[in-house]
Every structure is written in C-alpha cells, then in structure tokens.
C-alpha cells in the first residue's frame, strides 16, 4: 500500500501543521474496562479529528502536480470537509463542500469558518457525494473523493506516531467510515513490521463493510441510521474493502446505545470529548473485553466534533434518537 520511506517523507509535511498527538494509558479507563488500553488522542488536532492529516497530503500533492488548479469540491459529513478546508487555506486552493440536509450544524459552521463554500444537498452522505460529482463537472472543479491513496498515507501518520511512541499492542480498534483511518493503520503496521491485530468498528445501523466482507462483494445498505455520523456510510469503497479484507483481523458492530455509553466513559475517565465515531473504538473494546484480559490494546479516539445538543443528551444518560435528527436521516 505504501512504504515506510513514503510515510517518513510525509511526516514533516503533516507535522508542520499538526503536532504529533499524544497517546495515554488512563488509569481510570483501565479500572473501568479491565483492559490495559492506550487512547490515541486524534481529537487533539487543529480540526478536532484525524482527517486533517490526509487533507494536507492530498492537497500538497495535487498542488505539486497541478499548480494552477482552480478549486476542488467534495462531499462530507464534516471531518473530511474540515480537513480539506484547513489544507485548502494553506495551499491557496478554493474548497467547495457538499453536506446532506440535517448535517451537524457545528461541523457546518466549522467548515465555513475555515473558508469553504458549503452546499446542502440530499438525505445522506451518498446523495451528497453524487451531487458533488455533478458540481465538479458543471464548474470545472477537481472532485476530491473521500477515499484516496494520498488521504490514506496522510492519516497513516497517526498510526506511525502510535506505534513508535507507545510500542507494541496485541489489538488496535479503529472506527470505519469510508476506510482511510483503518487502511492507514493496516499499512503502517505492515510497513513497521508490527504484529498487532487490527479490528475495524462499524455501526450496526451502517454495517455495509461488515456485510460486504461476509459476502465477498460490495453490499450497499439502504440507509445508515446512526447518530455517529462519521460511520454513516451506505456503500464501501472497493479499494478500502480489499485492504480491510486482507489486513484486518475482524470487524465489530456496535449500537448507538453502546457508542453513547462509550462517550460517557471517555468523558468520565479522561475528561475528553468524543463524537460518535470517535467513541466507537472504545465501544467495541468494551464489547470484547473478555477476550483482551492480560493483553495490551489501543483505541483510536478519531474525533471530538459532536454537536452540543447531542452531547447534552449523552451526558444526561441518553442516546440521541433518530426522531431527534433531521428527517432526511431517516
């Protein structure tokens, strides 16, 4: 997928804008879960999510190959868009972002604050992505996909930091949206020659990757009904699916209730904020903690960008319900 020398090459580019995030073994979290677990704090990047790393590499390489690119357009539920908006401002490339109706108001505000043009279209990510492709043709913009090798190499720098700073693990849990995070983890593990089992985590309400792996082919779903918007994908990327098939040990499904409980546990044991996708890895570890006794594990806290209203519901002991979301999510 990529070599260690390529990874070493992009580390200075990423670290020029994103200092290495830390990884901590929180005593209260170990006491709560019964597992020797390290948290990789990707919630502590300039956009509050790991995606920023991929955007920096993608736009740097695009600008090098096409110095006069007029602009790019992409679709997102939030963190991918923030990544490209953040990188676009640094590369002086205009960024247009399509989000579905009912998307996170706070993620939308963050993308606008980073200088992006924001367009709302469709009932979910997949419909927004189709519209972004049409806008690319109509306006003569470059279409930036949500999964691309340059994104994978960029986000892989978080895995490099984790393995080189914290040593070996028996198991690493990684949330799966479209797949750049887990593919970067698999590629880095292989490039460094580590033996950790990589476990992908999906929502039971957005389980297209699990279904596709089971079937040995792409199996789209009709909906992705989860408040963890970073996991809400209805169809897998074919390249990501193959990398996951070859390199992941297994996939674990978690419910919205389990994700909400993991957000509460993260807050009470580390006083960190996690969005739904950001807490999914811990939710899976808790689900599998019986098989992790005496072993060392890591979870990726991939992002913190949860709307205040949803965080209020979660910290009050509840789970954000579909009825509370915009009708387009249903």
**Closest alpha carbon to 148 in 72, 220, 224, 93:** 72
Residue 211 lies in a domain: yes
**Closest alpha carbon to 163 in 18, 280, 285, 4:** 4
328 pLDDT exceeds 70?
Answer: no
Beta-carbon count within 10 A of 39 CB = 23
> Band of the pLDDT at 224, cuts 50, 70, 90?
confident
Q: Tell me, what CATH number does 68's domain have? A: 3.40.50.1100
Query: Do the Cβ atoms of 181 and 202 come closer than 8 Å?
Result: no
Task: Tell the residue number behind the tokens 């190959």, with chain if given.
Answer: 65
59 & 37 share domain: no
254 & 232 share domain: yes
Residue 321 lies in a domain: no
Q: Which of 88, 119, 143 is the C-terminal boundary of a domain?
A: 143
**How far is Cα of residue 113 from the mean position of the Cα atoms in its chain?**
21
187 & 265 share domain: yes
Task: Tell the residue number behind the tokens 């904020």, with chain if given.
Answer: 273
Instruction: Please tell me the distance from the alpha carbon of residue 322 to that of residue 310, in angstroms, as a whole number.
Output: 11
> Range of 139's domain?
52-143
Residue 128 lies in a domain: yes
Average pLDDT (231-255) is 96
Q: What confidence score (pLDDT) does residue 219 get? A: 96
Percent of the chain past pLDDT 70, that is, above it, reads: 97
Q: What confidence score (pLDDT) does residue 322 get? A: 64
Residue 109 lies in a domain: yes
326 pLDDT exceeds 50?
Answer: no
Count of positions (residues) in the chain:
330
> Band of the pLDDT at 253, cuts 50, 70, 90?
very high
Sign of the torsion formed by the C-alpha atoms of 66, 71, 75 and 79: positive
Q: Which of 143, 160, 182 is the C-terminal boundary of a domain?
A: 143
Q: What confidence score (pLDDT) does residue 327 get? A: 33
Residue 325 lies in a domain: no
**Closest alpha carbon to 304 in 271, 261, 257:** 271
306 & 184 share domain: yes
125 & 273 share domain: no
Residue 326 lies in a domain: no
70 & 27 share domain: no
When divided into structural domains, the chain yields a total of 2
> Band of the pLDDT at 126, cuts 50, 70, 90?
confident
107 & 119 share domain: yes
Instruction: Please tell me the distance from the alpha carbon of residue 326 to that of residue 90, in angstroms, as a whole number.
Output: 33
The pLDDT tens digits of the residues spanning 99-121 come to 999 999 999 999 999 999 999 99
214 & 277 share domain: yes
Q: What confidence score (pLDDT) does residue 250 get? A: 98
31 & 166 share domain: yes
86 & 186 share domain: no
The SS3 of residue 90 is helix
182 & 114 share domain: no
**Closest alpha carbon to 36 in 141, 151, 170:** 170
154 & 279 share domain: yes
Residue 169 lies in a domain: yes
Q: What confidence score (pLDDT) does residue 1 get? A: 84
The pLDDT tens digits of the residues spanning 2-37 come to 999 999 999 999 999 999 999 999 999 999 999 999
Q: What confidence score (pLDDT) does residue 330 get? A: 25
Residue 217 lies in a domain: yes
DSSP letters along 197-257, please? Answer: EEEEEEETTB-HHHHHHHHTS----S----S-GGG--SS--HHHHHHHHHH-SEEEEE-HH
Q: Which of 110, 143, 176 is the C-terminal boundary of a domain?
A: 143
């Amino acid at each position: 997928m990529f070599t260690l020398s390529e990874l070493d090459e992009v580390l200075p580019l990423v670290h020029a804008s994103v200092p290495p995030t830390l990884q901590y073994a929180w005593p209260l979290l170990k006491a709560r879960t019964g597992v020797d677990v390290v948290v990789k704090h990707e919630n502590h990047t300039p956009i509050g999510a790991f995606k920023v790393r991929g955007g920096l590499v993608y736009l740097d390489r695009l600008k090098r190959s096409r110095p006069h690119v007029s602009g790019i357009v992409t679709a997102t539920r939030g963190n991918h868009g923030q990544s490209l908006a953040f990188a676009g401002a640094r590369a002086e490339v205009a960024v247009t972002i399509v989000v579905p109706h009912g998307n996170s108001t706070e993620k939308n505000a963050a993308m606008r604050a980073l200088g992006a043009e924001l367009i709302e279209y469709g009932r979910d990510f997949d419909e927004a992505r189709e519209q972004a492709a049409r806008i690319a043709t109509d306006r003569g913009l470059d279409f930036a996909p949500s999964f691309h090798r340059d994104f994978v190499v960029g986000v892989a720098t978080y895995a490099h930091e984790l393995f080189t700073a914290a040593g070996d693990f028996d198991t690493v849990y990684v949330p799966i949206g479209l797949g750049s995070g887990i593919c970067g983890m698999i590629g880095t593990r292989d490039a460094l020659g580590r033996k950790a089992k990589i476990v992908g985590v999906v929502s039971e309400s957005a389980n297209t990757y699990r279904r596709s792996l089971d079937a040995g082919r792409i199996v789209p779903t009709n909906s992705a009904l989860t408040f963890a918007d970073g996991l809400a994908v209805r169809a897998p990327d074919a390249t990501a699916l193959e990398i996951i098939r070859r390199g992941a040990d297994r996939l674990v499904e978690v419910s919205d209730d389990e994700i909400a409980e993991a957000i509460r546990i993260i807050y009470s044991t580390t006083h960190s904020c996690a969005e739904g996708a950001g807490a999914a890895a811990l939710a899976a570890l808790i689900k599998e903690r019986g098989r992790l006794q005496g072993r060392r594990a890591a979870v990726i806290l991939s992002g913190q960008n949860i709307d205040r209203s949803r965080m209020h519901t979660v910290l009050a002991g509840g789970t954000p319900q579909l009825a509370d979301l915009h009708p387009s999510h249903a």
